[in-house]
Copies of this chain bind each other. A is one copy, B any other.
Amino acid sequence: MRLLFLGDVVGRSGREAITRNLPEWRKKLALDLVVVNGENASHGYGLSPDIARSLISAGVDVITLGNHAWDRRDMIGHINQMPNIVRPINYPAGTPGQGSYIIDLERGRRALVINVMGRIFMDPLDDPFRVVSELLSRHRLGMTVNAIIIDIHAEATSEKMGFGQYFDGRVSLVVGTHTHVPTADHRILPKGTAYQTDAGMCGDYDSVIGMGKEAALHKLVRKIPGERPQPAEGEATVCGLLVETNDATGLATKVAPLRMGGHLAPNWPDF
């Protein structure tokens, strides 16, 4: 299976880079599955149902979220009708939506996508290790599903790398989101799980993590409230990674970053 994961889409610039490129890339990269983190797609704060639909129309199969999941309040009412929008699984019982989704792919294959939030330096949700372990106790990679993708939305690299190591061999991919900066540590862990600490954002990098420089610096330097930061509007870099997995074992065989457009050094996967 060939799957593309793209990190936090920030505002119009990030959305348009995806809707403009993805239809072509799906073919060119022979993608079976596209997962995108959409927590900042609506003007930097949350995901509206309409924007979710436009991403899906462009070829996104599953959208994951994070700490900004509910910035757009209408998502609270809509998420139950949109099962391929996945919010962090470790919210308390009773939270609208689901924390995982099984998607049926071509040739009878199935993939399980999980979104989970870290707790270090973040709002304390349920234990991500425990909650994901419980879900995985009901799944067997290569048996009940052909691939398992985990988006761990977290701040601390220790928590993300620990998460990757902990689930190594039990899932196809552990990829981080939330920091809005792509890491260069993509690799396949010893037991076969593809890993990258952060996918990076799909947004304008001539910014402060996607937001306009002036307003973001006002907040960092002046410490008094100013204009609400808005997404920077320059050309986005689409950031993510391409993973190839073995459908029988569910483990990763290849992983490479994808970075195209905007201000970062481009990288097109060589497989």
By a beta-carbon cutoff of 8 Å, the part of chain A in contact with chain B is 69-70, 73, 76, 91-96, 119-121, 123-127, 129-130, 155-159, 161-162, 165-166, 179-187, 189-190, 197-198, 200, 205-209, 213, 216-217, 220-225, 257, 259, 263-265, 267
Contacts and interface: CB of A to CB of B under 8 A. Distances in A.
27 contacts: A69-B224, A70-B224, A92-B130, A92-B222, A94-B222, A95-B222, A95-B223, A119-B124, A120-B124, A121-B121, A121-B155, A123-B223, A125-B223, A155-B156, A158-B216, A161-B181, A161-B207, A162-B220, A165-B208, A181-B183, A181-B197, A181-B198, A183-B183, A184-B264, A184-B265, A187-B264, A189-B206
Contacts of A183: 181-184, 198
Q: How many copies of this chain does the complex contain?
A: 4
Summarize A's interface: helix, strand, loop or mixed: loop
Contact of A129 (B186, B221, B259): B221
Given A182-B185, A265-B184, A161 B208 contact: yes
Given A159-B220, A165-B217, A182-B185, 19 more contacts: A73-B225, A76-B224, A93-B130, A94-B222, A95-B222, A95-B223, A124-B124, A126-B130, A158-B216, A161-B208, A162-B213, A162-B216, A165-B207, A181-B183, A181-B197, A184-B184, A184-B264, A184-B265, A185-B264
